[in-house]
């Protein structure tokens, strides 16, 4: 039987410690060839709305010990928009009644069958935050108690939950360009986390005197500069567009998510290469930086003094992240009898593909 889950099921099935453990195991499997990723692929075509683009994204990865390959897909209409003085790439909720389409499909690497289908929303937020938390555990000072957070969306919420699970955070300062959003975020997360969460009015105030700083935004323009990095801080960014070059220059220890698997962009003839919706990576030799897996397995040296500035950049997402989180959700959902099951035979055929 193939298991069908919704986001309510996914939320109930996600366990912090299980997620951290599974992702850590996956990163140990990657360097020895028992886990594998395919580079993310974006296919674009023109859309009838001004400055909008249709984008289909796919990425997959497999972890041998979990027995799973995960395929994550999104079908989006995207447009770059300005909000509260910042520029962000927005997905437009045009599916159904103001909704989005994103799926994670899990396949058995033992017999090839489709094991499960689930929405990608919470898994997407969780897989990034779990990786960030593992990086903080490897690079951030153990006595870090203050967190500066940039962003007030789903990624920011997930990062707050997981970063506070690996370091003894006692105070959080949060900034986003929308005052109402950051105030609401602070109130809700303070109640959930049971630690003080203060909404502040600038990036500078959010990161000042913090032991750990995390930018979890959808900004298309840099929010962090090297000048804002104080001695001893660990800085985490979830995308390259959030930082400028001075962050690289000022950091003593730099870790990236992956040296391989840059995003591949495919456009039909005639579609402009410089569409705002297509955010291209900056030319950079990623091979010069160690990956997070190098730090987790002890192949790279992390922080050696309390005064060093450490920086983790989640430069490109990978399919192994979805395989790890999908595995956690699928295993717990099956145990708890969550979701709906439909016949796997619906997806099988007797014609050799």
Tens of pLDDT, residues 144-189:
999 999 999 999 999 999 999 999 999 999 999 999 999 999 999 9
Tens of pLDDT, residue by residue over 63-87, are: 999 999 999 999 999 987 777 666 6
* CA gyration radius, the chain: 20
For 89-136, the pLDDT digits (tens) are 789 999 999 999 999 999 999 999 999 999 999 999 999 999 999 999
Other C-beta atoms closer than 10 Å to the C-beta of 309 total 19
- 342 by Cβ neighbours in 10 Å (0-12 / 13-18 / 19+) ranks as middle
Residue among 104, 41, 15 at smallest CA distance from 323: 104
How much is the pLDDT for 349?
A: 96
Domains and CATH numbers, the chain: 2-123+319-347 (3.30.1780.10), 124-262+271-313 (3.40.50.720)
Distance CA 58, CA 104 (A): 10
pLDDT at 143: 96
Quick one: what percent of the chain has pLDDT higher than 90? 82
The pTM score is 0.93
CB 29 within 8 A of CB 64: yes
Distances (CA, A) of 168 to 97, 165, 189, 211: 41, 7, 16, 11
Strand ranges (E), 194-289: 197-199, 212-215, 234-237, 253-256, 264-266
Tokens 């495919």 correspond to: 266
**Residue at token pair 């809700």:** 188
pLDDT at 261 over 60: no
C-alpha span between 175 and 163 (Å, rounded): 17
Model confidence at 279, in pLDDT bands (50, 70, 90)? low
């Amino acid at each position: 039987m193939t298991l069908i889950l919704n986001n309510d099921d996914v939320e109930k099935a996600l366990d912090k410690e299980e997620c951290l453990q599974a992702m850590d195991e996956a990163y140990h499997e990657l360097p020895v060839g028992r886990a594998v990723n395919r580079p993310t692929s974006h296919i674009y075509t023109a859309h009838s709305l001004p400055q909008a683009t249709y984008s289909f994204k796919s990425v997959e990865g497999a972890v041998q010990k979990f027995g799973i390959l995960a395929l994550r897909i999104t079908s989006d209409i995207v447009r770059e928009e300005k909000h509260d003085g910042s520029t962000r790439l927005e997905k437009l909720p045009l599916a159904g009644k103001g909704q989005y389409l994103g799926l994670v499909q899990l396949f058995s690497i033992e017999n090839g069958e489709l094991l499960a289908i689930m929405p990608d929303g919470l898994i997407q937020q969780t897989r990034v935050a779990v990786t960030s938390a593992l990086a903080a555990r490897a690079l951030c000072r153990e006595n870090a108690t203050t967190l500066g957070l940039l962003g007030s969306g789903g990624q920011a919420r997930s990062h707050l939950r997981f970063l506070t699970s690996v370091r003894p955070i006692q105070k959080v300062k949060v900034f986003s360009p929308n005052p109402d959003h950051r105030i609401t975020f602070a109130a809700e997360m303070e109640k959930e986390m049971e630690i003080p969460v203060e909404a502040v009015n600038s990036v500078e105030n959010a990161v000042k005197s913090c032991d750990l700083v995390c930018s979890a935004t959808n900004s298309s323009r840099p929010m962090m500069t090297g000048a804002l990095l104080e001695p001893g801080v660990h800085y985490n960014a979830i995308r390259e567009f959030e930082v400028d070059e001075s962050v690289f220059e000022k950091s003593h220890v730099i870790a990236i998510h992956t040296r391989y698997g840059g995003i591949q962009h495919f456009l039909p003839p005639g579609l402009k290469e410089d569409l705002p919706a297509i955010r291209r990576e900056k030319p950079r030799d990623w091979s010069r930086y160690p990956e997070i897996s190098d730090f987790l397995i002890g192949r790279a040296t992390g922080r050696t003094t309390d005064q060093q500035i450490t920086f983790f950049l989640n430069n490109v997402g990978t399919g192994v992240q979805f395989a790890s989180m999908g595995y956690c959700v699928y295993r717990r959902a099956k145990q708890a009898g969550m979701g709906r099951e439909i016949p796997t035979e619906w997806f099988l055929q007797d014609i050799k593909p």
